[in-house]
Structures are given as structure tokens and as C-alpha cells.
Structure 1
Amino acid sequence: MIKIKVTTLFILLLFFLNQVYSQSDNIIVPLSIILDETQNKFDCNFTYLDKDVSGLRLKKPSDTLNLQKTIAYLRYNTPLNYTFLNDNTIVLSLTNNTQNVCGTLKSLYKDEILANASIQINDDLFISNAKGEFSIPVKNPNDYIKISFVGFKTLKILAKELLGTPCKTVQLIPEIQYLNEVVLNDYLVKGIARNPDGSIVIDYTDFGLLPGLIEPDLLQTIQALPGIISVEETVSDINVRGGTNDQNLILWDGIKMYQSGHFFGLISAFNPYLTKNVQLTKNGSSSSYGDGVSSVIAMNTTNEINQDFDAGLGINMISADGFIDTPIGKKSSLQLSARKSISEIAETPTYEQFFDKAFQDSEVVNSLNTDEKFSFYDTSLRWLYQFTPKDLIKVNGLIIRNDLGFQENAIINETNISRESTVKQNNSAASIMYERNWTDAFKSELLIYGTNYKLEAINSDIINNQRLQQENEVLESGIKLNTMVILNSNVHLKSGYQFNETGISNLRDVNNPTFRDLIKEVIRTNSIFSEIAFKSKNASTYLNIGARLNHFDKFGAFRLEPRIGFNHRFTNHLSLEFLGELKSQVTSQIIESQNDFLGIENKKWVLSNNDNIPILKSQQTSLGLSYKHNNWLISADSYYKKVDGIIAQSQGFQNQLEFADDHGNYIVKGVDFLINKRFAKFSTWLSYSYADNQYEFNQLSEQSFPNTIDITHNLNIALAYTNENLKISSGINWHSGKPTTRPIIDNPIDPQGNINYEHPNSDTLTDYFRWDVSATYNFKFSSKVSGNMGLSIWNILSQENIVNNYYRIDSENRVREIQERGLGFTPNAVLRINF
């Protein structure tokens, strides 16, 4: 039954995409589709070889044309002969007519000849001569020619636009990018690279395979890197070098996101198939970034106009998704995407594992006679408009939503009573970006955005005849101007201005007895920033120095934040890296009660008030060495990190400090180590992180003790195999247990009836161990239709991992331990079709 429903959903999605595909008159479609429709319309029959029509694409003929005029249209727009054998049989064959197209390549801004540029049509590659000239044979005038030259944006142009004489001048637009060349390619697996400023860039357009993942989940992927872990096995709680998740600046095309996960944190809410790359910065971040005292996770979609119709459909054991990316004329393209959970149709074993993990120890599983209904979806829009070669407009929209509802039933005074409790979490965001290349050495980018996060819950208590409503809402708007100047080939300058207005409200409303508490706070921040990058002539030394000046209007306070990144290559194999930064942020997540929002997503966003919730301020330095030779990569980074202004309520204490009200800091000292060997089609790696993470609070009786997420040792070992179509990956994850606080064995309950704890975080949980495997296979139906299928198993040994625990006193006045477990044996499978 489950298989039938899943298959039905997939067929419905495929049918929907086909309708979208066929109803747009401006869409360029495969010739084979036009032939099929013509056969059905005129009751005729086409005879042809698949290889002759493969790859031919054009606009559909008008519906008003008869058969003869339709064939005339096809003759004119395809390199084929159409021969009538009788009234209803038409034979297609290739013509012998090969035409030459020619052109001269120049820079848009200067009368500069572009010699030795790459010109590609289908599988044929040509090079422009010393005068920038080229002449190439073309069989189909509707084929695209791709022209590439270092330092310029790649141009795709229809061959028929270059027909005729004299040869046309083709102008390429300079690619004005900040000085930041890749120093390490294929870091762990294909598609991961390391820049000289220390940032890691993950390119999802050409990505390998990581253990346990059959799809490139954006926020799961980064956890394969040294120094990054999710102690609680979620993407909404990523710990970068000992920091909490709210200390990560998560950006989607420059928009700050306050929600990052579906299934209340188990999978990423961002579609990897629409994301060009993710840039992760653990230290030494660009001065253009505010917030994120632990890290910056910047997700970027492409700025290139799509010249052809692309679409994709996919389904796995959690959700189904689809997207289209279609040109609108020559200067514009539109991309639409959607993803929806399939739990309403089928509750797969994967869904059941996720459900048990997400809602364990919450009102959902604690309530009797419940009828749980959970779903999630996300949808996005991106519109690009290149109205001149120098000017680009980009419009983005994104909606993320999670919904949970369940019924609680009880018999009161011999009457059946039912009440619904709900939790809803969503994040909506939109932006408009205007980019202009003023000259070949000066570019500006203006971004205006808004984002709205809302977490709301209704908790119905039948026994006490009470309804509790809670809401946490973030409303933020901003404007950001970036400018970049190329002073010369070795020195680049970046400067800009940013304004943010962040408002956060928290509501608590009870109906019996009547109580309502609504708190709203707003902070406006003005920032200016600048940085300069230098690269030596032999490219052995890279230096980036910058600073950011923030003004927080609510407090009348200024903060200057210097940033530095330095990389020097001693030899072709050995390099040294030094990074440093000061950062600050005014938003934090706190937990007032573990049962808030039904105990499912009990963290809520708050703003600094410069009193009991200080501005978070961080300082970090790191020093690293990298050695790369003969497909070996060995790197080690030591770091020191201090974050001031943390509050006890943001640390998730579930011991004697659960309701403590104090602020302080944490200091992390650690080392991230990686060894990676590539041979033939294999890549194997071992990453290890050591960290000593300690709190220092101002007024608590226990002022100094281990951090709640002090994971002293973290080890990953993996092996990946990649060939043209098949990818296989397997790996193990081990780390020391999370700190915990035990009751005193001989005296677990004090005279006041409270649990009598040992020193905070003086013990640890058992070590964590997980073995994952995954495999994917790519296939092709034709030159334009491809797909892939995959299978993964998370925790193949079904190891029982305790990721959190705490203690409570039960009805018999005994101390009871509550344990929260990680995912057990969790299979997943995927099927994708791309057009």
C-alpha cells in the first residue's frame, strides 16, 4: 500500500511538471516532443533515428498552422530533411548542410582582444586566434555556443545569432571577483575546496558523496569538516568550535535565516539542487559579515541567466520535490521550486525514525490517545533579469514551514472531551539585489531584504481546563551595499555599508486563569566595513586585512571589529595560515522552560538589552599548517576562541542551573586535524578534533566548569569511491560523550525536595559511535533526460547513542533519569529525474 501511494505521488508530480512544460509557448522544448504532438494532432507518423533528433530543441510551432506549414517551420529551424512517403508518413534525415559561424571576441569595457578563448558547441572545442577571431562549423543553428575566458563571465549564445557576414563582435563581461583563489581542491570529496582566507566552499553543481547521505543536505554536509559537530544529531543545532547554533550566521543569498531545518531540525530546509555553493567560515571572516560569533554559513544561488529549460523531480522516503528553471526571453530566467513531506500519504520507516527522534520526551509522546499529524514544505522563487550587459537584477523568495497537530482525549464527568494542541514553525524571506559592473575594475551590489520567523504553539490541557498559547516572532529588514575595486591584479579593495532593523516579540497567553504577557524589542544597527586583499606576484602570499564598525542605536554604543587572514606557501607543498577576528551579535536563543512550545522546539529568540542579556562579543585566533603532495593532504589548525556575554538560559542547562540567571563567557582551546589520501577513484580521510571548552560565569556558585557541549574528542574516518556514474561512500563517526550532571549517589534528594546534584557537568555520557553507508547511481534516458537513484543507511549497526539526559523526581519521590537517543537504523532511498 505504501509503495502504491508513493508511486502515485511521483506520477502526479511528473504529470504536473509535464503540464507546466507543455503550456508555456515561450519554452524551448525537445524536437521529439513536438514530433509526438504533431503526430497526435494530424494523425501522421514520423520515421527517424533517435541520434538524428537527439539534442535538437526549439520553440513549438503555432497551433494555428496546418501540417504542411508545421513541416515548413520545422525545416527552417532544424538541420533535417522532411520527406513525405505518403499522406501520413514522413521520413526525417540529416541534411548535408553545414554552416560556418564566426566572430571576434573582445572585452565589454575595453577594446581588448581576447585570444585563446575556449569556444564549445556540443562536444566540439575550438580556440580563438591571436586576433580573438574564430570560425566554427555548425549543423544546427539552434545549438548553443559556450564561450569561456579566464577573468570573464561565461557566455552562452545561439549559433544562429552569429550567422551572416561580416563576422560579428562578441563582447564578454569581466568577472569582477574578490581576490580569493582556491588553494586546496577536492577537500575530502569532489566539490569541496579551501580558500586562502581559510573558508571552505562546497560546490553542489559537481559534488561527491558523503557517508549516510544520498542527497547533498547543505547543513549535514558541513558536519563532515573538522571542528564541526551536532551534539544532538540535528541541522538546527550545529556546533562550530564549541559554539551554540544561534551563534552561527546562516545566510541564504544574503538574507539572514532564523530557521534552518525541517522536521524540527533533522533535515536542512534549503534545497541543494538550487544552491550553487555554500561558503563556511570558522574564523577570519570577511568584514562584510556582522553577527555569527561562531561561524558564517553563506548559501548562494547562481547569478547566471539560464538559456535553456531545466527541470527536475525527486522523491525520497521523507519528501518529494520538483523545480523548473526556464528562460524568459534572452535576458531573463525564472526558477520555481517546491518540496513537501509525504507523511500524509505514507509513513515510511525513515519517517518513523525521524518522528521518534524529533518528538521524544515531548508533549506529543507524553499525551494519551493522540492522533498526530505532521507535515512540512518549502517553496522558493528566483527571477534573474540582465537588462544590460552591465546590469543584473535578482529577486528571491523563500517560504519554510513545519506543522504539527495532535489530539488529547479525556473523559471528564462521564463526557468525552477532545482538544487539539499544535506547533507551527515557519520562516519567510524575500530580497531584491541589483548588481552593476561600472567598469572592468569596479562593481557594486545593492541588497534589500526582509525575513520573518515565527514559532507558535497552543497547548491544550484538558485535565486543568487550560489553554496556553506561546509565540516567538522575529521580523528583520535590512539594506546592504557592497563595492569592490580592483586596484591592480594583485590588490583588491572591498567596502560597504549595512543597516539592519531587528524586532523580536514573545507572547505568553493563558486562558485559565487569564494571563497575557507580550514583550517586543527592536534594535537598529548601522555598520560600515572595508577590507583590502593582497596577493604576491608569484601567488605564494595572500593577505586580507579589514575592519567593521557597528553602531547599536538602542545603546548608543560603537564596536570596532578588525579581521585578518594570512596565507603563505613556503614550497609547492607546505603552507602556513593565520586567521583572526573580533565579532559581535545582538540576537540569542534562550530556554525559559524545557516544556515551552510543547517541549519540541523550546528555544526562542531574544534581543540583547545590554543588561541581563548582553551583546555577544567574540575574539578568535587560529594558526594552521597544510601539506599537500602526491594526492596526500595533511592539515592541522590550532585555535583559541572566547565568547563574552553568554547567558545561562541560552546554554540548555537541565541540572541545578536550569533556572539560573547569570551571564559570563566560554573559552575554547582546540586543534582540528585532517589527513586525506586520494588514489585512482578513491578518497579516504581521517579527521580529528580536540577541544577544551570551559565556562566562566560571574555570580554562579560554580563559576568555572565544562561547557554543556564540551566534546573533547571527535573522530571521523571515511572512504569514498567515485566513477562516471557510480558513487559509494562509507564512514564511521565517534566522539566522547556529552557532559552531564549526575545526582549525588548517597544523597540524591535534598531536604527541600530538590535533586541534589554533583558539580555541574562533572561527568559525561557514554561515547557516541555511528557507522553510515550510502550509494548513488546516475543514468541517462537521452541526451536531455537523466536521473539518479540512491540508497543510504544511517547508523547501520543500530547503535544506541544517548545524545542527552537529565533527571526528574517522579510521583514516588524517586530520582528518575530521562534519556534522549539519536537515530537508530535509518534507511533512505531516492529517485530523481532531470530534464
Structure 2
Amino acid sequence: MTKRLLVLIFIVVSLHSINTTAQTETDQPLTTILVTLQERFGVQFNYASKLVDGVAIVAPNNSMNLEESLNYISEQSNLIFVSVSENIISIKEKTILLCGYLKDKDSGETLPYVTIQVDSKGTIANEEGYFEIDGLKTEDIIQIRLMGYKPLQRQVNYFNTSGCNTIYLLPYQEKLAEVTVYDFLVRGIDKLDNGSVELDFDRFNILPGLVEDDVLLSVQALPGIQSIDETVSNINIRGGSHDQNLITWDGIKMYQSGHFFGLISMYNPHITQKVALRKNGSSASETDGVSGTIAMKTNEYLNTGFKGSIGVNLIDANGALDAPLGKKASLQVATRKSVSDFVETPTYSNYFDRITQDTEIESNTAAVTNSDIAFDFYDASFRLLFHPSEKDHFRINFMYTANELTFNEVAQLSGTDVSRESNLDQTTIAGGVNHQRDWTEKFRTQLEIYNTDYKLKARNVNILQDQRFLQENKVSETGIRLKTLNVLTPRINWTNGYHFVETKVTNLADVDDPLFVRLEGEILRTHAIFSEIGLSSKNTATQLNLGIRFNYLDDFKKQVWEPRLSLSHSFWESFNLEVLGEFKHQSTSQVINFQNDFLGIEKRRWQLSNDESIPVITSKQGSAGLSFNKNGWLVNAVTFYKSVDGITTQSQGFQDRYEFARTSGSYDATGLDLLIRKQFGKNSLWLSYSYLNSEYFFEQLPETRFPSNFDITHAMTLGANYTLGELLIAAGLNWRTGKPKTRPVPNAEIVDGEVNYDITNGERLDDYLRLDVSGKYEFSWGENKSVQVGVAVWNVLNRENTINSFYRANPLGEAQQFLQSSLRITPNASVRLIF
């Protein structure tokens, strides 16, 4: 009996002990445990409620001190404890360091300079393909992108974070252009094997004189790209006029380039990811742009997290948002507006004075004064990405831009002040839809549809004659392009397609007294088929693209055949040979009828070829280049020849004896583009030089051959970038010979009341010299937020550069000279919050 009693007592005590242990080890809410620790140790915990809500663990043993208790909780949860003061402890979420080595899945080769991004922060893999990125959470989305490879997008917990492992990327079946020279000029500017130069604003460093990224000002840093009047609406590629450049935004052709009538780009850099500049060797799928192509592209990948930025500088205020819409769509919106409605900064004043030189706004007639002058510009961009399946990708783009100028003209009539308003509006509305379908791993189709509408409208009043003069220039264009890609072998791709373009150009001149109305409208439809084959050697050292494009101009019953060539060959590890060639045509051009058209501000208007007095412009060009790239040294030299036929005197901006000539002709251009760059770690120093010999040929003019108006014989830039932590500094010295000019005959300047001109373009303006500096600094401000501050000074030396000169006969019978000057010293500053 006693034994049985002892056994029963033992069983009861054991069960009680087991039950007590089980109750002790039951999970408790972390908030309860923290309250207990606060009472025991006299401390206070600061934390966001979302960090601990729903978290339950077994409470630390009462025998543990405070440090041991916190270490225990940290091991049991995804939290860390940071002492803020003696009695205050902050609770934060644990972060993860992800590192790895990136390699090609097929070849096993190292992949350098790959972009790794998480929301608003990211990094670039080094030359060995190694990267590391800290401060991650398990639910963060990692995006790994490299041109020519399928993007990898995974949550952090997908990767092995216990060490630095190898991560493989899968090559695209499609043959994409590959980088032959990284950081061609500065970080974010690369040279591709198809002959183009690409600017990647996700990796972009800083250029001299720019406080923020500017798409069309940035391309002017490259050799062979000039602007004779410092504007983005007059970019001259190897001696060509601006209208000979094809400018596209996500495949949509644009007929307007700038805000402030050309002083800054109208393309918002915060929604434009990449810009490809091609001087020669275009793809057969591209039309227009007999002088060159500037193709802007936005991001093709869905954003998985909300991000954006808000900024202001001394010219405009701007903002951008990128937000996911579920797992299959994302939306991007960006906008800008000038600050002139709120404050007139010195930068704004300098810009305004620059664009109004020798115009009716700057100096009206002696009896008329201008008042209440107001200028405004703004733009809005919209993008919707939708990927309903792994094989289907849709993209919708929309852009609206505007420049608006108004002022009152005041005169005294019969003892009474009379005021009437003159104004000028320039707008662009453009939209496009893109659908890409991957039918199989080796066959893809892409359909692009776009419409762009450009309008330039001016209303000019003449109070003294009680007259109103209305001018309009409109361009409306619709394009449809279908492309197919066949991967025949891993080293052979075949692209085919059809391209349809309908362009309508309308010009209106309307005078109310005496009544006069002239409305001219023309339409041209072009059909094209193209085919291109891409070949690469087994070791990818040689890349060859051969293409042919057949165009049929419906209204003229005209056929135009255009072969295209792009060859890149790397040898001896450090050398690369490049050969490019193309034939092209275009049917639109910009002309000047009178220098005072559209108030003299934006006097160029678009016109359509009629294949008679206004020919279809055709071009042929070829170039050969050699590069050496080793140990941070880069030497790149390219020689070229270009011939363009079908230009008109109206499109070349004459202001001498040929100002009112109406004839067509051609020009030839030969030259050399040279770049020497040396990298010192993250710093770089470069020297670029361009030589150009460009000459007109007009059979119907008294002088059949003479230098082109855009013949800048020598141009040189010396630049440097310096990086110190998060501080970026850049400086650049720009020098070039002056543009050609025509002066009157000495001692016989006026004949029969008109200026008696000497040899056309027989002299030059003084040499142009400009020094620019800029700096940018970025620092963190809260979690996943940063602030970027920038300062820049354009023309630090305050040099008065003459960019144009012309003569007019004055009432005294003299040839009066008019000089137009470049921007004087112009500072700018910006502040941007990135989140």
C-alpha cells in the first residue's frame, strides 16, 4: 500500500512539473515581454508598432540580465536593439547583406557592371562581377538587369544570404547590342557594338555645367555633336542641321525638342531612362534622320515598389512617381513647370534675355513699347506598363508639353494709350502603344502604334496700323510598325518588318487688314518593308548587322532603297575596329521664310517635301573607327564621310544675300572625331576633339560651292570628373572655331540701298570659349529616403561669345551689324528629395 502511494505521489508530482514547464514555455506576445522587461530593468523601448504586432515568442528566463534577454529576443525574432541613451532602447528590424558573383548561365563567363536595384537604392557589380548590397529585408524585391540578358526579379529570401554565392543570368535569345566600352566619357555613358553611344541615367554621373540631367544637353558632350547657338533645338551632328536629326521618345517621333525655345530639353529625365545616340549605321527598322538619331527609351521593367522624387531648381519645379499596380502593372507619372509664376531668378532672367535677342520682344518700334511680358513652360509624361502574362508585354506612353509667351504692345493713338496682346504658343501632344509577344523562345513580334501632334502658333499685333497677323504651323503624324524576330541559331538573328507613316503638315498665314488668308496643307504616306540579319562570331568578338529597307512614297510614286551596315570587331584584347554605313531619306524639313516670323522667337516652321521645289532629302555616309581600351586609358578615333542631297536654302538659316533664295542643293562633310579618356578609380579626365570640313553645293546660286553655315572646323573639350564619397564634381572647358559669316564688301558696303555682300561665308566669328563647373551631393534622410543637392555655373569666365552676326541697311545708308551673344555667366542650383 505504501509503495502504491509513493508511486501515485511521484506520478502526480511529475505531471505537475511537466504541466508547469509547458506553461512556462508557452509563446507570449512580444509586447507583453517588453513591458515586463521595462518594469524589471527600468528601461524604455521605442519602436514602431508594426514591428512587434503579431510577434509571439517564449519569454526569456528570469535569470537572464538585460543584455542576455535582448540577445535572446533578437535570436528568436527579426529584430535588433540599439541603445539610444542610458535608459532608452530603440527596436529596429534586422537587415540583410546580399552579395554574390554574377555569371553567364551558358558560358560561365563573369558578367561585370551589372545593375542590381532594390526600390530606390542599388549598386553596380565590379569588373569581377562581384556585388554587395546591404540594408535589405526578406520581403524586398531584387532586380538584376544587364543588356542582352533576361532580367532577374526575386525576393531577398529566394537567395542564399549565408554567403556570397554565384548567381547566373540567362542570355536573351534576341541578339541585343553589347557594350564594347563602359564609361565611354563618364560613368553611365557607354559605347555599344552597333556603333551607338548610350546614356544610362540610372548610372549617370555628372557633366560640367548641368545641375540636373538634361537629355539633349548631355549628348552635346560627345565628339561630333555641336550646337552653333547653344540650344537643344539646333543640334548639329557632323555638320547637319537640326531638322535632319531623328528624335524619338519610346519610338514616337518628336517634332519639338526644347523648353524655353531651345535652352533646355523638353524631355523629363526622371522618366527617361536611356538615350541612344547614333551618328551612322542605323537599324533598317528606322527611317528619317539623315544626319543622326537620338532615341530616348523609358524603363521596360515593372516596378515592384513605390518610389518617386520631388525637386526644384532655379528654372523649374518637377516631380516623378513610379507606383506598382498589383503584380502585373505599374504606372509612371512625371511633370515639370517653370518657377516664373512664383519668382524670377537670375537664371531665368539670363535665359529669357538670351532667347529674346533681336526679336520684337526685346525691341519694338520707337513708337511702341512692350509691357506685361510673361513666359511659362510645363510638361507632363505618363507611362503604363502591363504584363498580363510571361509572354505579353504592353506599354502605353503619353506626353504633353507647352511653351507660352505673352506680352502687351502699347502705343499712343490720338493722345490715348492703346494696348493689344501678342502671344506665342508651342505645344506637343504625343501618345503611343507598344505590344511585344514572345511566341516561343526563338520567335517574337512587336507592334508599335503612335500619333504625334505639334503646333506652333503666333498672334502678332501692329497697333500703329491696326493690324493682326496670325501664323500657325502644325504637324500631325501617325505611325505603325510591326517587327518580327527569328532566332535562327544562337549566333544568327533575322529581323523583318513593315512600317507605315502618314504625315500631315499645315501652314496658315492670316492677316485681318487688308484681308489675306493662305492655308497650305500637305499629306504624305510612306510604306516600307525592312529586313536585317545579325551575325556574331563564336567568341562574340565580331558582330555584324546587315540590313536593307525599301520605302515607297505613295503620293510621289517614288521608291527609295536603303542599305545599312554595322560591323564591330575586337582583337588583341584591347582593340576594337568599327565600320558603319547607311543610306537614308526624309520628307520633312524646317524652313525660315522671314526672320521675324513667329515674333522672331521660334521662326522655323516644318514643311513637307513635294518632290519638286522641295525635294525628298537623301543621304549616304560611311565611317571607320578604331579604339584602344586598357588600364583606364581609352583612345577612340573615327573618320567619316557624309553626303546629303535635297536640302533647300530656306532650311539652312541664311541671313546674307541668300536669305530669300529659293533653291535646292546638297552638302558634303568629312571629318574626324577623337576621344582620349583616362580613369583614375572613380575619377576620369577626358579630351575630345572634332574636325569638320563641310561644304555646300547649290547649282542655281552665283556661288555654287562655299562653306556650310554649320561648318565648325575645330572643336575641343577638356573635362574632368572627381568623386569623393557621395560628392560629385565636374569641370569642362569648351573651345571651338567660330561659325562662318558673310560680311559686306569693304568700302562698298551698300549698293542701291541694299547690303553688298562679299564672298559667302568667307570669314568666321571669333573663337568660342566656355568654362563650366558643377557639383552634386547626396545624403540619406530617413529610411529609404535621400536628398540630392546640386550647384552648377555655366560660362564661369563670363565670356561674351558671339554666336551669330548679320547686317542690315539702316536709314543712313550704312550696313549696320547685329551681333547675337551666348549665355553669360549663369548659375543654377537644385534640391531633390528621392523616396
Structure 1 partner of 2:39: none
Structure 2 partner of 1:676: 677
Of residues 324, 329, 343 in structure 1, which corresponds to 2:326? 329
The count of corresponding residues between Structure 1 and Structure 2 is 742
Please state if 1:578 is matched with 2:587: no
Distance 1:636 1:124 in 2: 34
Q: Normalization by structure 2: what TM-score?
A: 0.84
Q: Cα distance, 1:676 vs. partner?
A: 0.8
Distance 2:499 2:663 in 1: 32
- 1:759-794 CA distances to partner (integer Å, 9 max, x unpaired)? 111111111010111111111113410121111110
1:79–1:140 contact (8 Å) kept in structure 2: no
Distance 1:144 1:553 in 2: 51
Distance 2:497 2:55 in 1: 52
Change in 2 beyond 3 A, CA 1:442/1:418: same
Aligned pairs (5 A) from 1:472-487? 472-487=473-488
Structure 2 partner of 1:297: 294
Stretches of structure 1 that go unaligned for 5 or more consecutive residues are: 1-45, 54-66, 84-89, 101-105, 128-136, 164-169
Distance 1:537 1:517 in 2: 62
Structure 1 partner of 2:541: 540
Aligned pairs (5 A) from 1:93-242? 93=91, 142-146=139-143, 152-158=149-155, 175-242=172-239
1:79–1:97 contact (8 Å) kept in structure 2: no
Structure 2 partner of 1:39: none
Identity of aligned residues (%): 44
1:174–1:440 contact (8 Å) kept in structure 2: no
Distance 1:620 1:116 in 2: 37
Amino acid at match of 1:437: D
- 1:44-100 CA distances to partner (integer Å, 9 max, x unpaired)? xx9536xxx7xxxxxxxxxxxxx9x99857989x966899xxxxxx998468999x9
2:370–2:407 contact (8 Å) kept in structure 1: no
Structure 1 partner of 2:827: 827
- 1:795-815 CA distances to partner (integer Å, 9 max, x unpaired)? 000000000011111222221
Aligned pairs (5 A) from 1:320-719? 320-367=317-364, 368-719=369-720
Distance 2:122 2:697 in 1: 64
Change in 2 beyond 3 A, CA 1:116/1:517: closer
Q: Cα distance, 1:198 vs. partner?
A: 1.1
Q: Cα distance, 1:178 vs. partner?
A: 2.9
Specify the SS of the correspondent of 1:388. Answer: coil
Change in 2 beyond 3 A, CA 1:287/1:724: farther
- 1:568-616 CA distances to partner (integer Å, 9 max, x unpaired)? 2231112221111100000000000000000000000000000110000
Change in 2 beyond 3 A, CA 1:558/1:97: closer
Change in 2 beyond 3 A, CA 1:147/1:664: closer
1:218–1:278 contact (8 Å) kept in structure 2: yes
- 1:203-246 CA distances to partner (integer Å, 9 max, x unpaired)? 11011111111212110111111110000100010000000000
Distance 2:51 2:91 in 1: 17
Please state if 1:800 is matched with 2:800: yes
Q: Cα distance, 1:331 vs. partner?
A: 0.7
Q: Cα distance, 1:680 vs. partner?
A: 2.8
Q: Cα distance, 1:400 vs. partner?
A: 0.8
Structure 2 partner of 1:6: none
Stretches of structure 2 that go unaligned for 5 or more consecutive residues are: 1-43, 58-75, 82-87, 99-103, 126-133, 161-166
Of residues 254, 261, 264 in structure 2, which corresponds to 1:267? 264
- Mean Cα displacement is larger for which, 691-700 or 675-684? 675-684
Change in 2 beyond 3 A, CA 1:827/1:176: farther
Structure 1 partner of 2:770: 770
Of residues 251, 256, 265 in structure 1, which corresponds to 2:253? 256
- Mean Cα displacement is larger for which, 780-789 or 598-607? 780-789
Distance 1:152 1:690 in 2: 38
Distance 1:119 1:759 in 2: 56
Specify the SS of the correspondent of 1:796. Answer: coil
Distance 2:728 2:156 in 1: 36
Please state if 1:277 is matched with 2:278: no
Q: Cα distance, 1:175 vs. partner?
A: 3.7
Q: Cα distance, 1:389 vs. partner?
A: 1.0
- Mean Cα displacement is larger for which, 568-577 or 151-160? 151-160
Q: Cα distance, 1:274 vs. partner?
A: 1.3
Change in 2 beyond 3 A, CA 1:92/1:671: closer
Q: Cα distance, 1:356 vs. partner?
A: 0.7
Distance 1:715 1:286 in 2: 30
Amino acid at match of 1:392: H
- 1:438-467 CA distances to partner (integer Å, 9 max, x unpaired)? 122222211111000000000011011110
Distance 1:97 1:221 in 2: 37
Change in 2 beyond 3 A, CA 1:528/1:81: same
Distance 1:96 1:575 in 2: 48
Q: Cα distance, 1:358 vs. partner?
A: 0.9
- Mean Cα displacement is larger for which, 677-686 or 387-396? 677-686
Distance 1:625 1:819 in 2: 41
Structure 2 partner of 1:130: none
Q: Cα distance, 1:540 vs. partner?
A: 2.2
2:148–2:177 contact (8 Å) kept in structure 1: no
Distance 2:766 2:672 in 1: 22
1:71–1:82 contact (8 Å) kept in structure 2: no
Please state if 1:761 is matched with 2:746: no
Change in 2 beyond 3 A, CA 1:545/1:817: same
Aligned pairs (5 A) from 1:728-739? 728-739=729-740
1:179–1:491 contact (8 Å) kept in structure 2: no
Amino acid at match of 1:703: T
Change in 2 beyond 3 A, CA 1:173/1:380: farther
Distance 1:209 1:114 in 2: 34
1:788–1:831 contact (8 Å) kept in structure 2: yes
Change in 2 beyond 3 A, CA 1:821/1:584: same
Structure 2 partner of 1:745: 746
- 1:718-746 CA distances to partner (integer Å, 9 max, x unpaired)? 11112441111111111111111001121
- 1:104-132 CA distances to partner (integer Å, 9 max, x unpaired)? xx99xxxx99999999998999x9xxxxx
Specify the SS of the correspondent of 1:351. Answer: helix
Structure 1 partner of 2:784: 784
- 1:601-653 CA distances to partner (integer Å, 9 max, x unpaired)? 00000000001100000000111111112211111111110000000100100
Q: Cα distance, 1:387 vs. partner?
A: 0.5
Distance 1:48 1:652 in 2: 69
Specify the SS of the correspondent of 1:554. Answer: helix
1:809–1:816 contact (8 Å) kept in structure 2: yes
Specify the SS of the correspondent of 1:307. Answer: coil
Structure 2 partner of 1:48: 46
Distance 1:689 1:141 in 2: 52
Structure 1 partner of 2:20: none
Distance 2:647 2:329 in 1: 46
Specify the SS of the correspondent of 2:568. Answer: strand
Specify the SS of the correspondent of 2:678. Answer: strand
Distance 2:408 2:666 in 1: 42
- 1:681-740 CA distances to partner (integer Å, 9 max, x unpaired)? 321111111111100002111111110111111111111112441111111111111111
Amino acid at match of 1:447: E
Aligned pairs (5 A) from 1:31-42? none
Q: Cα distance, 1:661 vs. partner?
A: 0.8
Distance 1:199 1:146 in 2: 26
Distance 1:465 1:653 in 2: 31
Change in 2 beyond 3 A, CA 1:152/1:749: closer
